[in-house]
Structure 1
Amino acid sequence: MAFKSEVRDTIINSLLEKARERNYGKYLPRLTLRNLRGFKDEPISFDFPVTALIGPNGGGKTTVLGAAGIIYRDIPPRMFFAKSGKYDAGMQDWSIEYEVTDRENSPKAAVQRTASFKSLKWNRDAMSREVLVFGVSRTVPASERKELLRCTARKFVVPDSRVTALSESAATAISRVLGKDVSGFRQLKIAQNLDVTLLTGRTKADVEYSEFHFGAGESSVIRMISAIEAAGENAIVLIEEIENGLHPVATIRLVEYLIDAANRKKVQVIFTTHSNEALLPLPDKAVWAMTSDKAFQGKLDVKSLRAITGQIETDSVIFVEDAFAKIWIESILRCGDLPADHFEVHPMAGDGTAVAMNRYHNKNPSIKVPSLCFIDGDSKQHENEQEKVYRLPGESPEAYIFDQCMEKWSEIGGKLAVTMLQKFEDNEKVEEICRTVRTTNHDPHLLFAQVGEKLGLVPAQTVAQAFCAQWAQSNPQIVAEFLTKLKGES
């Protein structure tokens, strides 16, 4: 079943417009890594107030996260870019350029700033903004945190004056993310002169228990959301590996909360992740893929990063626009004389991203596995045989496959019905449903989902795979033309 976020499209579109118009008191719209670690003149734009950075280990996610933070006074550069004596000689001449919105100091125009590492120190004209940083250490269990050891004493207690309940807004948001009622949870300041707290929870039977019996992800969510709710408007929030310690459903809900916070409190959030679930509620412009020396904007499956960076065990990679094109190409491979397992097909969630990834992959001298790219018939990208970019037939892939199969229903209808989990003898009934759906359909991308619904909630992917498989089997000449393009890469 396709994912449906609980964040309304109107909110997503409103936030995209707000970022585009720079309609914030404080906001970081853009930075450029002029010379930082492996990046050379690499621009990163924050076109949505909640941005996800994905990539392999060492790909540069934390580099961008840290670069976003150090232009602000609250974040010392050593927090992300510490120098260790002679062992970090390569830091010399690192440089980051910024475009910053700060209505207090520049009501009309964006402010230009630079942070650079020269003469063995960081030089920056830092700006004022509230910054919240949540590193991976937030998921260290309470029992392993030295600052909480005093709380394990048998007679540990704190005065009521240092005990606070969670705010109503924080408790509501935390309860939704964790799927449990936290209205009875509290924070204990363990010493008057220390900014260290211990959390306590409460069972349904009204029994109190300490953070030493929390899950690490549970503590992390409570502390993050409490801090964000306590922050003022226009703060920037930096989160390392947002999914750490969380169930996939909780990860989705946490990202949805961050979008809600961006809408209510005008906060800007940048987080790193290895989780596909963390990307689901976000629009394409909110995702950047890092590959150690390049950055690509657009949503894609995290698993596809292995292909982009050459971390694969296959003969060739095929980049396509979306999940349907992946199904189509894989159906073609299964009908040919090439070993299908010698190819990996990766959907990129957009034609521009697919073409860019293919170009980067083939130009990277460290990657030995070649790649191709297939764009949809209605793509505005151009075919380029030299760069191995080819176009799929038909204006709309879904409509093309659907119509081609319907034209041959008398030949393939029975098999098509069976592969859609229907009885062979019911193929006339299935045909009638398919033709009715085609007549009433306004969006070809929904054709297979609509047919599946009419057939008794058959998954859209199952219907799409059935149509693609039958199309491939009944069009050997077109399949042969596709395979000709692939044979040089196997």
Structure 2
Amino acid sequence: MIDKIVKNINTLQQLKNNDIHRKYIEYIRYPFFRNLAPDSKITFDFPITFLVGKNGGGKSSTLQSLYGCPKGYSLGDYWFTTELDPIKEFDKNRNCFIYGFKDNGLIKEVIKQRIHRDNDPDYWETAKPIKRYGMQNSQRFSPIEKDVVYLDFRTELSAFDKFFHFLKFHSNTHKTKQDFLRFYSNKLKEAFDTNKIISYYKPNRNKPKVILSKIETKIVSEILRKEFETIEIIEHNLFKDWGTSIRLKQKNINYSEAFAGSGETAVVILVHKIYNASNESLILLDEPETSLHSGAQKRLMSFLIEQCIKKKHQVVISTHSPFLIENMPNESIKVFSTLNTTGKFVIDNDRNYKEAFHELEIENTTKKIILVEDRTAQIIIDKTIEKLGKATEDIFVTKYLPGGADDINQRLTTIMEITDDTYVVFDGDQKKLQSPIDLNSIPPNQQDTSVKLKALIKSQTGCDVKFYLNGGNQSKELKEEETLRLAKKYLEFYKKNVFYLPLLIPEDIIWDEDFAKKLLKLLKPDKDISIIKSASSNSKELLFNFCIQCYGESKQYESTVLQFVSNWLNKEDTHFLNIKNLINQLKN
């Protein structure tokens, strides 16, 4: 399933790159809106966008503002003022949002502002372009015309759950809720069985029954991993308030939402509404993972991607689930964080899904491993990662293997069989070739034997690598075939997972003579840097001899390295930028 999802994600990205979507909101920005930091902006670089963050972080408010973007829809349906929670406007800064959509190759910006009217205190209308908000055009454009499907799965309760768990019960004819449900369930069964409109005390107690198509039923069955023969839906107010009831039929059993899990009801409603949505709809989903286990969440995500491809939908999802955002491109993930200084929410538009785990306070138990060949390299990489922030720290663990480069090159024959998330960062002096070997660029007759491939590996690594073959009395032909497979896999792994520090040895990166002079003057004013230089042939010896001169013992060597690393990090020179870019590359 993962391969299918990844393939469809690539297809969806190509559709976006080729401007296939004709009705597409390219971005939305908030000069002044609720608790978002002023001038916050979300770019919709991928047809499916995820809003990730802690509860109360502005995600639902953002979904509701998107609901209010198209023509005929208003944010006032969801956000309105009350005496208890009045909506305040400040001076000229009215609550507003601005979105851009493409029309004939040009971006049209539409601003919607909250306008108080005596007969409608929650009225939102388009306004003339406001220059102080960076709107360049003088023309007021009409809103985008687009159907909207908005589902909040925290409130998308079945009629049974809504009545049984949330409505206050009072009845002159029924002693308990159970008695009430038993009586009115007969009326509901009549509606399901006959497809009649029930009139009991009130007219039109239900809407006509909907029977899901065979395709919809198959989709629900696949997501839930159950074999349903028929699925029916009825909207009614037989349980005092309007709600949705479903009836599910399997081979040997029929049951309603009263005995179905809330996740089953949610999936039925979601599949039906999205499958029947008009082309190029705006689909807004608030926590669709509610009551679904991880496998069902992944299959639900696969369905959403397929519908986006077929119908060119634009989907925005608020979620706390790592299973929905796994495998999605960085540009699809928008992370909401809280500023400690103001309490306002800020939006990061390009975050790796594992960084998003950090914001959700989900422990990342599958960290990516970076292997290095010496302790100084480990300190440099660890401190660079630390400088990039806690979210990046949560992705990586750096390990120093004391056996040296040859030992690591040999270990890769085992590592490549276990994981794709282990990387090697060698010292620069291990770089034997300008670019890693790419078998696609090498003629077949130069890679058709294990001898030739091992020669290529040696030119890349500088050492002879031994492959461990399956046990048993294999023929020479089978051994050759297996060695060929492993050697090719090794070179492919090397190309994708092995990198180098920018200079020959890590000490070259951090050694700074000016800093050494200042530190030496502070610690040992009677010593001269020239003594250290004359006794050293490279930067590693410079650091070691500096440590001895300053502290009189080698035990302080790692502390000395840390001092020079801190100085180097503060400079943020080209070598720092190279390593920073490498780490960002590994995140993806």
The two structures have a TM-score, normalised by structure 2, of 0.54
User: Which among 186, 202, 206 is matched to residue 249 of structure 2?
Assistant: 202
User: How far off its partner does 1:75 sit?
Assistant: 3.2
Percent identity, aligned pairs only, is 16
SS at match of 1:145: helix
The question of whether the paired residues in 2 share the 8 Å contact of 1:166 and 1:185 is answered with: yes
Distance in structure 1 (CA, Å) of the matches to 2:163 and 2:292: 23
User: Which among 216, 240, 243 is matched to residue 170 of structure 1?
Assistant: 216
Question: 1:7-46, aligned counterparts within 5 Å?
Answer: 7-9=5-7, 11-36=8-33, 37-46=35-44
Question: 1:76-475, aligned counterparts within 5 Å?
Answer: 76-85=74-83, 87-92=85-90, 93-101=94-102, 106-119=103-116, 121-124=123-126, 126-146=143-163, 152=182, 153=184, 155-156=186-187, 157-158=190-191, 159-160=194-195, 162-190=208-236, 197-205=244-252, 207-292=253-338, 293-296=345-348, 297-301=350-354, 302-305=356-359, 323-324=367-368, 355=388, 358=389, 405-408=404-407, 432-433=466-467, 437=487, 440-444=490-494
The question of whether the paired residues in 2 share the 8 Å contact of 1:60 and 1:291 is answered with: no
AA matched with 2:195: D
The question of whether the paired residues in 2 share the 8 Å contact of 1:50 and 1:286 is answered with: yes
Comparing 245-254 with 158-167, which one deviates more in the overlay? 158-167
The match for 2:50 is 52
SS at match of 2:39: strand
> Do the aligned partners of residues 128 and 233 (structure 1) sit closer, same or farther apart at CA in structure 2, a change above 3 Å counting?
same
> Do the aligned partners of residues 265 and 407 (structure 1) sit closer, same or farther apart at CA in structure 2, a change above 3 Å counting?
same
User: How far off its partner does 1:279 sit?
Assistant: 0.5
The two structures have a TM-score, normalised by structure 1, of 0.64
> Do the aligned partners of residues 306 and 211 (structure 1) sit closer, same or farther apart at CA in structure 2, a change above 3 Å counting?
closer
The question of whether the paired residues in 2 share the 8 Å contact of 1:71 and 1:127 is answered with: yes
User: Which among 66, 69, 72 is matched to residue 70 of structure 2?
Assistant: 72
Distance in structure 2 (CA, Å) of the matches to 1:187 and 1:40: 43
> Do the aligned partners of residues 98 and 209 (structure 1) sit closer, same or farther apart at CA in structure 2, a change above 3 Å counting?
same
SS at match of 1:175: helix
> Do the aligned partners of residues 82 and 479 (structure 1) sit closer, same or farther apart at CA in structure 2, a change above 3 Å counting?
farther
- Per-residue CA deviation, residues 370-419 of structure 1 (Å, 9 max, x unaligned), is x6978x9xxxxxxxxxxxxxxx9xxxx99x98997442479x98xx99xx
Counting matched residue pairs gives: 378
The question of whether the paired residues in 2 share the 8 Å contact of 1:131 and 1:236 is answered with: yes
The question of whether the paired residues in 2 share the 8 Å contact of 1:30 and 1:99 is answered with: yes
The question of whether the paired residues in 1 share the 8 Å contact of 2:21 and 2:312 is answered with: yes
User: How far off its partner does 1:89 sit?
Assistant: 4.3
The question of whether the paired residues in 1 share the 8 Å contact of 2:330 and 2:351 is answered with: yes
AA matched with 1:432: K
User: How far off its partner does 1:273 sit?
Assistant: 0.7
Comparing 84-93 with 19-28, which one deviates more in the overlay? 84-93
SS at match of 1:184: strand
Distance in structure 1 (CA, Å) of the matches to 2:273 and 2:256: 19
> Do the aligned partners of residues 332 and 32 (structure 1) sit closer, same or farther apart at CA in structure 2, a change above 3 Å counting?
farther
The question of whether the paired residues in 2 share the 8 Å contact of 1:139 and 1:244 is answered with: no
> Do the aligned partners of residues 403 and 29 (structure 1) sit closer, same or farther apart at CA in structure 2, a change above 3 Å counting?
farther
Comparing 230-239 with 19-28, which one deviates more in the overlay? 19-28
AA matched with 2:319: T
> Do the aligned partners of residues 218 and 5 (structure 1) sit closer, same or farther apart at CA in structure 2, a change above 3 Å counting?
farther
Distance in structure 1 (CA, Å) of the matches to 2:78 and 2:95: 13
> Do the aligned partners of residues 168 and 25 (structure 1) sit closer, same or farther apart at CA in structure 2, a change above 3 Å counting?
farther
User: How far off its partner does 1:140 sit?
Assistant: 2.9
User: How far off its partner does 1:23 sit?
Assistant: 2.1
> Do the aligned partners of residues 324 and 478 (structure 1) sit closer, same or farther apart at CA in structure 2, a change above 3 Å counting?
farther
User: How far off its partner does 1:12 sit?
Assistant: 2.1
- Per-residue CA deviation, residues 256-315 of structure 1 (Å, 9 max, x unaligned), is 1111000011111111111111101422221111114321122333431167xxx99xxx
Provide the alpha-carbon RMSD of the alignment: 4.7
The question of whether the paired residues in 2 share the 8 Å contact of 1:48 and 1:286 is answered with: yes
The question of whether the paired residues in 2 share the 8 Å contact of 1:255 and 1:281 is answered with: no
Max Rg structure:
2
Distance in structure 2 (CA, Å) of the matches to 1:21 and 1:72: 23
Comparing 274-283 with 194-203, which one deviates more in the overlay? 194-203
> Do the aligned partners of residues 89 and 68 (structure 1) sit closer, same or farther apart at CA in structure 2, a change above 3 Å counting?
closer
> Do the aligned partners of residues 19 and 80 (structure 1) sit closer, same or farther apart at CA in structure 2, a change above 3 Å counting?
farther
